[in-house]
Structure 1
Amino acid sequence: MLNVDLDRFDIKLLEIIQNDARLPQKDLGESVNLSTAAVNRRLKKLSEQGVIESYNTKIKPEALGFNITVITTIKVINEQFNELESLRKLFSSCRQVQQSYYVAGEWDFVLIILVRNMDEYTELTENLFIKNKNIKKFQTLVAMRKDKVSLSVPIEI
């Protein structure tokens, strides 16, 4: 857990750049009543503290042919640390896996996966799950529609 003190300027800056990280620091400063140099120092500090993890561009998956979003739940056989770490690394290294969660409850992992078609997903299941001796079972949910897709943090000012 991060132990970071954020003031109202930091929070406002985070809210703005979370929605559009391309804004020039001069414009950011005008929005929060800070100088460009102060904005620069604050953003650098927030990055160094790990509050800002990265600056990304959101690409529409369908524009690159990734037309299917699949949510997969996974149950493992062996929950020893090294076995779980091996799976975590496997899932994290797969380019089609957009999100990977180790979870509590009936299932052990939940993956959000983007694929071009069901043939690609079938091949992926064989490589990630069926051939893996530590996977007990998995369940596939195909998203019919994406009503909301976001990694934005709900910021309250």
Structure 2
Amino acid sequence: MELLDSLDHKILEILQLNNLTSQREIGNKIGLSAPAVQRRITRMRELGVIKKDIAVLNPEHLGQLITIVVQVEMEADKVEMVTKTKRKFEQTPQVQQCYYVTGEADFMLIVVVSNMKEYEKLTHELFFNNPGIQRFKSSICMDIVKSGLALPVPK
């Protein structure tokens, strides 16, 4: 049984570009009434398809934030240590994105900090004080060329 149909996919495409688009406007674009759009959006929230309604902030307007890509290698693939590390990354506000990956690194993080002193302190909290982490490698972003949040939606 298909969870979402083509109209749901069209709604998701519109909401990913601007989740403040009115239900009437969405309905006009895809051929549904505003109440039908509202029911579909409510259903997709209940199903967990739509996880959050958030504001995406422009870092250029928030001071000189530093974005850092961090590769993290674990000492060993022990389930309890990996799980504990995932939770720590998940609970750290400076960790904007966290991916558990295959290859040389075990985790890829996108970290945003106000200054290098803050990052130094964060490295102690997240990496040096975690006995499960073997090493980490930081790459400082010189420019954010693309920072997409929209997922491809099936047609």
TM-score range, shorter chain: over 0.9
CA distance in 1, matches of 2:66, 2:95: 12
Aligned to 2:47, which of 46, 49, 73? Answer: 49
Which one is further off, 62-71 or 6-15?
Answer: 62-71
Provide the residue aligned with 1:93 in structure 2. 91
**AA matched with 1:78:** A
Runs of at least 4 residues off by over 6 Å:
none
1:34-66 per-position Cα deviation (integer Å, ceiling 9, x unaligned):
111110111111111221111111011232335
Partner-residue secondary structure (3-state), 1:141: strand
CA distance in 1, matches of 2:12, 2:64: 30
Report the CA distance shift for 1:98/1:4 in structure 2 as closer, same or farther (over 3 A). Answer: farther
Provide the residue aligned with 2:121 in structure 1. 123
Provide the residue aligned with 2:101 in structure 1. 103
Aligned to 2:24, which of 23, 26, 32? Answer: 26
Report the CA distance shift for 1:71/1:128 in structure 2 as closer, same or farther (over 3 A). Answer: same
CA distance in 1, matches of 2:96, 2:120: 17
CA distance in 2, matches of 1:156, 1:91: 31
| Residue 146 of structure 2 is aligned to residue 148 of structure 1 | yes
Q: Would you say the 8 A contact 1:99–1:112 is kept in 2?
A: yes
Alpha-carbon offset, residue 4 of structure 1: 4.3
Gap regions ≥5 residues in structure 1: none
Aligned to 1:74, which of 72, 75, 81? Answer: 72
Provide the TM-score with structure 2 as the length reference.
0.93
Q: Would you say the 8 A contact 1:96–1:115 is kept in 2?
A: yes
1:89-128 per-position Cα deviation (integer Å, ceiling 9, x unaligned):
1111111000011111111111100011111111111111
Aligned to 2:4, which of 6, 31, 39? Answer: 6
Aligned to 1:133, which of 131, 134, 145? Answer: 131
CA distance in 1, matches of 2:3, 2:126: 41
Partner-residue secondary structure (3-state), 1:123: helix
Alpha-carbon offset, residue 155 of structure 1: 2.8
CA distance in 2, matches of 1:114, 1:62: 12
The percent identity for this pair of structures is 36
Alpha-carbon offset, residue 78 of structure 1: 2.7
Q: Would you say the 8 A contact 1:102–1:109 is kept in 2?
A: yes
CA distance in 2, matches of 1:49, 1:143: 36
After superposition, the CA RMSD in angstroms is: 1.4
Q: Would you say the 8 A contact 1:66–1:115 is kept in 2?
A: no
Partner-residue secondary structure (3-state), 1:74: strand
